[in-house]
């Protein structure tokens, strides 16, 4: 079967902290090592503009997040890693989708509703006070990020689940109105990793101002760990192992290490000693990627080049796919009267075997999207084998009737259909 595509974006407004690392970055990098998935990870810098009007901060955060993912070992041969604004197709798709999205759907978005509620509570007459069109249409840009690559699985925090549902709605509507080009994406929320405690014991979050930056210096790390709130139990008094220090320790340690530390709390380790232990433990785990991070931050040209390569690879999929979307809505060359446009083969530089394989995978996925309704028909038939044979016979006849140009496309579809249905034929 074809690989599933996992895609997620990171808004470039902040400095990556331990909570981001454990909750999002680490699981994403691990998933990208799984050969059963295609991974797309990107810096959502257009999203940053929605909530942040500080250019220096957006630019700094973009550098920091890019260097962080690379320092943590993201293998950019395995995952496609790019910056949203390097993919012009995403903005183009955003407009096309904007024209198909009902305003009513956007009225229901949590982020927008929260602003309206705050205005109402403040007794303001204009309930849309301070709301930009960017904030209002935010879910459409996000839908374009996702639908552009026909992503199946979107790992996100709970607060983003509604946006994935909106992307599904938008995709479904487009598929119904025009052509079934888009995959309906699904949110993936990892409940367990959401609960990384911050310095005050509440969830680690920028908005609580309780974060530990992932790659702060060792001194800073020690200082922050010393600020973690504990109770007033004296040295020697047994301590509840369900505490913030232990929780952080467990996030970095394996079972044996965690069990040993837990035992020490029960035996009454002093809070000061426990903080020292936690610092040393975390520092040992972070010092290597921190050194790599500092190297990358001193060689941003290299990081920029990696992002460019990622964008190039992403566009191998997005550019031809957007052509189909444009065609579907009627944005076509004047001389193009046919029902389906033949894609002109892009002029390509010499490509590595891996790049070719990737391009081929992209091509296959695009065709599969096209024939998906046919495969579904077979899947729903009472006699699947008969339906498969009839379908392939019908497609073969169609190919034979067609003229050269359209024929290649139908031929490609036929080949994949035969392949997908081979067990039934």
Give the residue, chosen from 44, 282, 368, 399, that forms a contact with ligand TRP under the rule CB under 6 A.
44
11/264 Cα distance (integer angstroms):
40
401/398 Cα distance (integer angstroms):
5
387/425 Cα distance (integer angstroms):
9
Does 196 carry a binding-site annotation? yes
- Between residues 43 and 391, which has the closer beta carbon with respect to ligand TRP? 43
Count CB atoms within 10 A of the CB of residue 273.
Answer: 11
Does 318 engage in binding with ligand TRP (CB under 6 A)? Answer: no
Does 211 carry a binding-site annotation? no
- Between residues 160 and 244, which has the closer beta carbon with respect to ligand TRP? 160
From residue 260, give the alpha-carbon distance in Å to each of 130, 225, 255, 269: 52, 20, 9, 12
Residue 141 CB, shortest distance to ligand TRP, in Å, is 7
Contact predicate 417/374, CB 8 Å: yes
By beta carbon distance, the residue nearest ligand TRP is 9
Give the residue, chosen from 5, 6, 9, 358, that forms a contact with ligand TRP under the rule CB under 6 A.
9
CB burial of residue 19 (10 Å; 0-12, 13-18, 19+): buried
Does 137 carry a binding-site annotation? no
271/373 Cα distance (integer angstroms):
62
Does 29 engage in binding with ligand TRP (CB under 6 A)? Answer: no
Contact predicate 162/138, CB 8 Å: no
Does 47 engage in binding with ligand TRP (CB under 6 A)? Answer: yes
Residue with tokens 């729903």: 380
Residue 240 CB, shortest distance to ligand TRP, in Å, is 33
148/170 Cα distance (integer angstroms):
12
- Select from 6-14, 68-76, 209-217, 346-354 the region that touches ligand TRP (CB under 6 A): 6-14
Does 11 engage in binding with ligand TRP (CB under 6 A)? Answer: yes
Pull the structure tokens for residue 30. 């691990």
The dihedral built from the CA positions of residue 367, 373, 378 and 379, taken in this order, carries a sign that is positive
Does 72 engage in binding with ligand TRP (CB under 6 A)? Answer: no
Does 97 engage in binding with ligand TRP (CB under 6 A)? Answer: no
Residue 84 CB, shortest distance to ligand TRP, in Å, is 7
Does 8 engage in binding with ligand TRP (CB under 6 A)? Answer: yes
Q: Strands of 37-44's sheet, edge to edge? A: 79-83, 37-44, 4-11, 153-155, 186-188
β-strand 186-188 against 153-155: which pairing, if any? parallel
Pull the structure tokens for residue 111. 């982020």
Residue 167 CB, shortest distance to ligand TRP, in Å, is 8
Q: For residues 357-386, which are near ligand TRP according to CB under 6 A?
A: none
β-strand 186-188 against 37-44: which pairing, if any? unpaired
- Between residues 106 and 359, which has the closer beta carbon with respect to ligand TRP? 106
Does 399 engage in binding with ligand TRP (CB under 6 A)? Answer: no
Q: For residues 184-203, which are near ligand TRP according to CB under 6 A?
A: none
Residue with tokens 């210096």: 217
Residue 54 CB, shortest distance to ligand TRP, in Å, is 17
- Between residues 83 and 315, which has the closer beta carbon with respect to ligand TRP? 83
Map residue 8 onto helix, strand or coil.
Answer: strand
343/39 Cα distance (integer angstroms):
25
175/97 Cα distance (integer angstroms):
11
310/81 Cα distance (integer angstroms):
5
Does 68 engage in binding with ligand TRP (CB under 6 A)? Answer: no
Q: For residues 142-171, which are near ligand TRP according to CB under 6 A?
A: 142, 145-146, 154, 156, 160
- Between residues 11 and 210, which has the closer beta carbon with respect to ligand TRP? 11
Does 315 engage in binding with ligand TRP (CB under 6 A)? Answer: no
Does 17 engage in binding with ligand TRP (CB under 6 A)? Answer: no
- Select from 116-124, 140-148, 275-283, 295-303 the region that touches ligand TRP (CB under 6 A): 140-148
- Between residues 50 and 282, which has the closer beta carbon with respect to ligand TRP? 50
39/5 Cα distance (integer angstroms):
6
- Between residues 69 and 271, which has the closer beta carbon with respect to ligand TRP? 69
Residue 263 CB, shortest distance to ligand TRP, in Å, is 38
List binding-site positions for ATP.
Answer: 11-13, 19-20, 157-159, 196, 203-207
Q: Which residues are annotated as a binding site?
A: 11-13, 19-20, 145, 157-159, 196, 203-207
Chain contacts with ligand TRP (rule: CB under 6 A):
7-9, 11, 44, 47, 142, 145-146, 154, 156, 160
Residue ranges of the annotated binding site for L-tryptophan are: 145
């Amino acid at each position: 079967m074809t690989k599933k595509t996992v895609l997620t974006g990171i808004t470039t407004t902040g400095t990556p902290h331990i909570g981001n690392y454990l909750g999002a970055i680490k699981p994403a990098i691990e998933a990208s090592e799984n050969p059963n998935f295609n991974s797309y990870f990107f810096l959502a810098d257009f999203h940053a503009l929605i909530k942040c009007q500080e250019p220096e901060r957006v630019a700094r955060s973009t550098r920091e997040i890019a260097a962080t993912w690379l320092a943590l070992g993201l293998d950019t041969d395995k995952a496609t890693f790019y910056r949203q604004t390097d993919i012009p197709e995403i903005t183009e798709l955003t407009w096309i989708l904007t024209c198909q999205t009902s305003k009513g759907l956007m009225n229901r978005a949590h982020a927008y509703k929260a602003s309206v509620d705050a205005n109402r509570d403040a007794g303001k007459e204009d309930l849309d006070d301070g709301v930009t069109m960017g904030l209002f249409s935010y879910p459409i840009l996000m839908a374009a990020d996702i639908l552009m690559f026909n992503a199946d699985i979107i790992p996100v925090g709970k607060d983003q689940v509604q946006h994935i549902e909106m992307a599904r709605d938008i995709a479904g509507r487009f598929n119904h109105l025009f052509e079934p080009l888009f995959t309906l994406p699904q949110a993936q929320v990892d409940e367990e990793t959401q609960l990384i405690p911050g310095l005050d014991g509440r969830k680690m979050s920028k908005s609580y101002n309780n974060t530990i930056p992932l790659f702060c210096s060792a001194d800073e790390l020690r200082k922050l760990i010393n600020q973690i709130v504990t109770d007033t139990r004296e040295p020697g008094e047994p301590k509840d192992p369900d505490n913030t220090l232990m929780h952080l320790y467990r996030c970095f340690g394996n079972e044996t290490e965690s069990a040993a530390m837990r035992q020490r709390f029960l035996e009454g380790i002093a809070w000061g000693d426990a903080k020292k232990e936690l610092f040393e433990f975390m520092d040992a785990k972070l010092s290597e990627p921190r050194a790599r991070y500092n190297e990358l931050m001193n060689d941003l040209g290299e990081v920029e080049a990696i992002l460019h390569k990622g964008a190039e690879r992403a566009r191998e999929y997005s550019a031809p796919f957007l052509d189909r979307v444009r065609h579907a809505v009627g944005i076509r060359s004047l001389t193009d009267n046919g029902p389906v446009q033949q894609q002109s083969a892009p002029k390509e530089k010499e490509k590595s075997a891996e790049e070719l394989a990737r391009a081929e995978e992209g091509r296959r996925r695009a065709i599969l999207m096209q024939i998906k309704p046919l495969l579904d028909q077979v899947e729903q038939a009472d006699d699947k084998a008969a339906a498969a044979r009839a379908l392939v016979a019908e497609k073969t006849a169609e190919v034979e009737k067609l003229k050269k140009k359209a024929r290649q496309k139908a031929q490609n579809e036929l080949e994949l259909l035969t392949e997908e249905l081979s067990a039934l034929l």
